[in-house]
Structure 1
């Protein structure tokens, strides 16, 4: 056993980091079991803390009340492009606020919420330039008893293409950017469900023309109208 540990300890940090990354990949986004690699010894912990990719994935979902780990992960991610999913979190606004200083590092951002105020907070992030953002999913499923029902929808917010030059996957449910927004160009995947207002058919055609590399298109509940 001592010989095995000695052999492992002789591994260079770069290889040890990849082993940790493989272990993390075996766990689901909700699972923190991979953190045990930081408890083995001081060297392993030092190597893990110095590998930003280990900490770049943030999943804040239902049933997870303790969020103290989120700022820690964001700080340890350093300059690694972030993968963030906020899925019907009870206190999603906390996560959105914690994410704000790091928003420019987002590579994937998924938000599913039942509260309009949370959606509005996420729109405030969109004022940022996203040089790494490739996938954006925003979904709002408000309840009738939503305490934020009087919050106006952020229809005036936009994400110009120049602010997200790498964006190729866009998923919108219950909301949309302005139909003439440049965000709808150069997409490879576009999903639109139950938009706040239906898309005019001529705008849909213009969007399709602006996405010559489009591979996947999904539109639910007849989200287009004829010109009148």
Structure 2
């Protein structure tokens, strides 16, 4: 049997570790938990403030939409939860007949580009979250999620958007409202018909661990080889 050169041992070890980790089962250690809410459809009305006099609908348009939500948490939620207990949340207005036209609000809002000389028109985003009464499947029985966004246009007009889903002993509602001052108003909602919550435990792929540990082993081997090479050079340059 042909002997394997010492210099190639770190690479072989790294590949071996990667193969074993890929084939071995991965423990269910979650990076984070994703709570997803799927709402029921309702009618949204889009109203233009100054419609065409010849428009038989007086500037009104109707769309079938739904409010969906995603809540990301670093831990399993089991008790009363507020916006301070989660990583992020997102409310989405989904157009039932054209899902590609969905619009979303996220809290906390993504960081904006810094511009010291630019006027601060927004968006200014606010969020509110309350979740409690979780069942054995970790689905909330009571909740109230709200996200609002306000932008001030250069013309000083206000562009505002508000999405909400709530369920309690006295209220069941999915609703939205959006308006651009002096241009249009869009609103709609659904009462007494809450949607469905699901929970997904998101974990890294086994190949992620394999590549990471394999890379660490390879770097350790290369560092050891480089250190050994420096030692050999030092011995050769040392005077007898």
TM over 0.5: no
Structure exhibiting the larger radius of gyration computed from Cα positions: 2
Name the structure, 1 or 2, with higher relative contact order (CA <8 Å, separation 6+): 2
Greater per-residue strand proportion: 2
* Structure showing the higher helix proportion among its residues: 1
TM range (shorter): under 0.3
Q: TM-score, normalised by structure 2?
A: 0.21
